[in-house]
A and B are shown apart, each in its own frame.
Chain A
Amino acid sequence: MSAVMQHLFGIAQLSKNQIEHLVNLGESFIELSRRPIKKAPTLRGKTVINLFFENSTRTRTSFEIAGKRLSADVINISASTSATKKGESLLDTGETLAAMQPHVLVIRHSIAGTCEFLADFLPHTSIVNAGDGGHEHPTQILTDLLTLKTQAGGYDGITMTIVGDIAHSRVARSHLLAAQKLGYKVRVVAPKTLLPSHIEQYGCEVFHDFDAAIPGTDALYMLRVQTERLTDNCSFPSIREYHEAYGLNSRRLALAGDNCVVMHPGPMNRGVEIASDVADSVRSHILDQVEHGVAVRMGVLTALCGSAPDPVKRTPRRELEEAAMRAQGKLL
């Protein structure tokens, strides 16, 4: 990998080489979690804070286990226990935690761009995006790529069909970006109510008819349906109709080739976007994804831990803001 990476905001910032490097690094950590003694000293003396403003079990646990197995000190903070409840602003929470000198802040927030925003003010911390609104979820994509690499025929030139709420999915966005860089093809399948405007800018194929999108697909990627969001804002008439139109069942799976794998970023709604028999079939690699998630996050933490410059002195907010704008070319 060329330049040292301080933050992982999203797939958008990464080159093809950087993505492949992180996937390979993740692959090298799969074995560690299968040992009887699941511990390596790689990150001894490093501090990782998981700051989760949205509910999450698997991603947070995955980061926690990844850090702990590499001997980092991992602290979990969730919104329900955090100072946010007391009215503290996001920026103040970020600055407060950064003042405790962690090496890495892993952040999940419902606001898109949270990591980029905080990073401008926290120059001595590495920030990892664990999902920001509908924007990006890079470690999920690295995980999926590792699963494709080890459990299927790789990701080179494959066709991945992503089905569901594309409009609100950070996973779909990050995959669309990764596909452009790595050269795999993406088909998105959804009714127009669940597609964002100008989706074609990613060079993907758009389908409203799920059956028509399946032939030629190498990976069927089912997105979680947020059931309350679906019906409340008239995006879909009912769960029943959703399952009928966009749910993956065995009849549909049979339309795909024999080597087509089934993936899901979790958590699943059985009987909604995916039928139980498909979720539990040999074609399903959903639990492999979970396992690989830990390995990939070990890789990401290893790559980032200690990459931020050491603090010399505390710089006032305004100066940091100006410096960030200058770096982005927004100042003369």
Chain B
Amino acid sequence: MTTLLIKGGRVIDPANGIDEISDVLIEDGRIAAIGKKAGKAKTTIDATGLIVCPGLIDMHVHLREPGQEWKEDIESGSRAAVAGGVTSMCCMPNTTPRLDHAGVVRQVIERAKQVGLCDVHPIGAVSRNLEGKELSEMRELVRAGAVAFSDDGMPIWHAGVMRKALEYASSFDFLVIQHAEDLELTAGGCMNEGRISTQLGVSGMPAVGEDDMVSRDIMLAKLVDARYHVAHISTQGAVELVRRAQAEGLKVSTEAAPHHFALTEEELLGFNVDAKMSPPLRTEEDRLAVIEGLRDGTISVIATDHAPHHEDDKRCGLSCAAFGIVGLESLLPVSLGLERDGVLSMSGLIATMTSNPAKLLHLEAGSLSEGAAADVCIFNPGEKWTLDRNKLFSKSRNTPWHGREMTGRVSHTLKGGRVVYQQGEILV
């Protein structure tokens, strides 16, 4: 029997309401006990001064495999994930081929198992080839391992198709995740429409291009009694729409990406392509609205929208640069700002990256319950370090946080009881 003891850390397990200085005993890859005297083990990790929590879940990443392996692949994405404390992630279907056939879904899961660092749960395509016309075989995709559905990167555009997608998915309690973007209003845009886009002389993507889509979808979700999830919410209007829908008792949920609560459109000054993503960085009012949504629970999940791009796709001027930034390795330090600013308690913050997404997606992950797989993240919430894009584990370097001081750093990541990341090194 292999045993491991994580000793003396502040153990936070939101799923079980635990927040105390304690030991965690792991036996044969599973959580055996949590307590002051949990037991003895062959190996010990001294977690004094550190926080010990369930391995993080990132329910919104782009792994680029199959099809665009020069940007990222399942191995490099998994390395980036565990370096960021993430032990389960959901990959979006806009690969080539798309995740719209069971074979491709199985292939992704299989490859992730071979890599063996991080669980990968594919999000299946809502529509065949992400074209927004015909539905994909959702039941078949779920049998293959898909945990939810989205056409992310593209909205499910036609109201009729969206209605049917919500109706069909909800018949089997599947979750539909919408990339809410009204393409007619955002056409040609490369950043938020507003003060800065006018200064730079570029076309903008107005906030209402997100709001109108969320508004329509909520009405459809109400009509057909479906579970509906807004991906990467970024506007004040959309947060308010979701808040009202939840107050009405609708099964509407949403997630926020760290960049949308940490950065604003000001980052684009100087034509900064590493601050270009969709939905774009918005105004300070929007940023504060996203934070308020996290505070009051309207937004229950933090997810990165990790979107690796090769520098050749970024080094070409703002309006033709690819949308997206990498996020796995900055997820925790950036999000910890919410705790420091008093928006969320440490336990509440960790819940947005563990128990909340697990509940939404019915994942067996995100807790330190006795008998659960020992996926654990150990981090120092106060350690300061400087993010260097040249030292990321991701294959891509497109991050707006290059050269900035981060507070909070993952020291160990455990997957199934095995230490896979420790002090800057991947252990395989």
The answer, yes or no, to whether B193 is at the interface (CB within 8 Å) is: yes
> Do the beta carbons of B201 and A173 come within 8 Å of each other?
yes
A196 B316 Cβ-Cβ under 8 A: no
**B202 adjacent to A117 (CB under 8 Å):** no
Which residues of chain A are near B272, meaning CB under 8 Å?
A: 330
User: Of the candidates B271, B312, B405, which one forms a contact with A113 in the assembled complex, judged by CB atoms under 8 Å apart?
Assistant: B271
> Are B270 and A328 in contact (CB-based, < 8 A)?
yes
Contact residue among A136, A197, A318, A328 (Cβ-Cβ distance under 8 Å from B198): A197
- Check A330 against B318 for contact (C-beta < 8 Å): no
A198 engages B194 (CB within 8 Å): yes
Name B189-221 residues within 8 Å CB distance of A: 193-195, 197-204, 206
Question: When the two chains form their complex, are residues B200 and A135 in contact, meaning their CB atoms are under 8 A apart?
Answer: yes
A20 within 8 A of B: no
Q: CA separation between A109 and B405, bound complex, in Å? A: 36
Which 9 residue pairs spanning A and B have beta carbons closest together? A331-B403, A135-B201, A113-B271, A134-B201, A111-B317, A196-B198, A198-B195, A112-B201, A112-B202
Q: Which residues A291-332 have CB closer than 8 A to chain B? A: 318, 325-326, 328, 330-332
Given the complex, which residues of B lie within 8 Å of A136, measured CB to CB?
Answer: 201
Interface residues of B in 88-114 (CB under 8 A from A): none
B195 pairs with A201, CB closer than 8 A: yes
CB of B427 closer than 8 Å to a CB of A? no
A318 to B397, CA, bound (A): 11
Known: A133-B202, A135-B201. A112 touches B318 (CB 8 A): yes
Which residues from B are CB-within-8-Å of A330? 270, 272, 402-403
Contact of B195 among A109, A112, A114, A197 (CB under 8 A): A197
Nearest to A12 among chain B residues (CB) is B199
Known: A112-B271, A332-B405. A91 touches B198 (CB 8 A): no
Residue interface bits B256-286, CB-to-A below 8 A is 1, else 0: 0000000000000011100000000000000
B319 on the interface (CB 8 Å rule)?
A: yes
Chain B's nearest CB lies how many Å from the CB of A51?
14
User: CA A93 – CA B317 in complex, angstroms?
Assistant: 14
**Cβ contact within 8 Å between B403 and A332:** yes
Max chain A CB contacts within 10 Å: which of B201, B315, B405? B201
Residue A7 is within 8 A (CB to CB) of chain B in the complex:
no
B404 at interface, CB cutoff 8 A: yes
Contact residue among A132, A197, A199 (Cβ-Cβ distance under 8 Å from B204): A197
Partner of B193, one of A116, A197, A331: A197
Using A116-B271, A198-B194 as known contacts, say yes or no to A91 and B316 having CB atoms under 8 A apart: yes
Question: B194 contacts which chain A residues (CB < 8 A)?
Answer: 197-198
Q: Mark A45-56, 1 if CB is under 8 A from B, else 0.
A: 000000000000
Q: How far is the CA of A91 from the CA of B320 in the complex (A)?
A: 13
Nearest chain A CB to B182 CB, angstrom units: 15
Q: Is the CB of A113 within 8 A of B317?
A: yes
Partner of B317, one of A114, A170, A197: A114
Which residue of chain A is the closest to B387 with respect to CB atoms? A332
How many whole Å from A78's CB to the nearest CB in chain B?
Answer: 18
For residue B423, CB closer than 8 A to chain A, the reply is no
Contact (Cβ within 8 A) B320 A133? no
A89 to B403, CA, bound (A): 27
Contact of B404 among A89, A198, A326, A332 (CB under 8 A): A332
Q: Do residues A111 and B318 form an inter-chain contact, with CB atoms below 8 A?
A: yes
**Which of chain A's residues have a CB closer than 8 A to the CB of B202?**
112-113, 133-135
A111 touches B200 (CB 8 A): no
- Decide yes or no whether A268 CB sits under 8 A from chain B: no
Chain B residues with CB under 8 Å of chain A are 193-195, 197-204, 206, 270-272, 312, 315-320, 386, 390, 402-405
| 22 A-B pairs (CB sep. < 8 Å) | A91-B315, A111-B317, A111-B318, A112-B200, A112-B317, A113-B271, A113-B317, A113-B319, A132-B201, A133-B202, A133-B319, A135-B201, A135-B202, A136-B201, A173-B201, A196-B198, A201-B195, A201-B198, A326-B403, A330-B270, A330-B403, A332-B404
Cβ of B270 and Cβ of A111 under 8 Å apart?
no
Complex contacts, A14 vs chain B, CB 8 Å: none
Q: A109 to chain B: which residues have CB within 8 Å?
A: 317
Q: Is A90 an interface residue (CB 8 A)?
A: yes
Q: Which of B197, B272, B319 has the most CB of A within 10 A?
A: B319
Beta-carbon nearest neighbor of B190 in chain A: A112
- Chain B residues within an 8 Å CB radius of A135: 200-202
Closest residue of chain A to B206, judged by CB? A197
CB-contacts of A103-127 with B (<8 A): 109, 111-114, 116-117
* CB atoms of B270 and A90 under 8 A apart: no
Cα(A118)–Cα(B263), bound, Å? 26
Interface residues of A in 144-198 (CB under 8 A from B): 170, 173, 196-198
Is the beta-carbon distance between B197 and A196 smaller than 8 angstroms?
yes
Question: B198: which A residues are within 8 A, CB to CB?
Answer: 173, 196-199, 201
Q: How far is the CA of A318 from the CA of B390 in the complex (A)?
A: 10
Least CB separation from A89: chain B residue: B316
Q: Which residue of B lies closest to A195 (CB)?
A: B198
Taken together as a complex, chains A and B put the C-alpha atoms of A326 and B390 apart, in Å, by 15
The smallest beta-carbon distance between A302 and chain B, in angstroms, is 27
A90 to B312, CA, bound (A): 11
Question: Are B316 and A325 within 8 A (Cβ)?
Answer: no
- Residue on B nearest A137 in the bound complex, by CB: B201
Q: Given the complex, which residues of B lie within 8 Å of A170, measured CB to CB? A: 201
Nearest chain B residue, comparing its CB with the CB of A170? B201
A150 to B60, CA, bound (A): 61
B204 cross-chain contacts in A, Cβ below 8 A: 197
B180 to chain A, nearest CB (A): 20
Whole-angstrom distance between the Cβ of A141 and the nearest chain B Cβ: 14
- Nearest to A166 among chain B residues (CB) is B198
Known: A117-B271, A136-B201, A201-B199. 10 other contacts (CB 8 A): A89-B316, A112-B318, A113-B318, A135-B200, A135-B202, A173-B198, A196-B197, A197-B197, A197-B204, A331-B402
CA distance A116 to B193 in the complex (A): 21
Whole-angstrom CA separation of A114 from B320 in the bound complex: 11
CB-CB < 8 A to B200: which residues of A? Answer: 112-113, 135
Shortest CB distance B269–A (Å): 9
Q: Looking across the interface, which residue of chain A has its beta carbon closest to that of B272?
A: A330
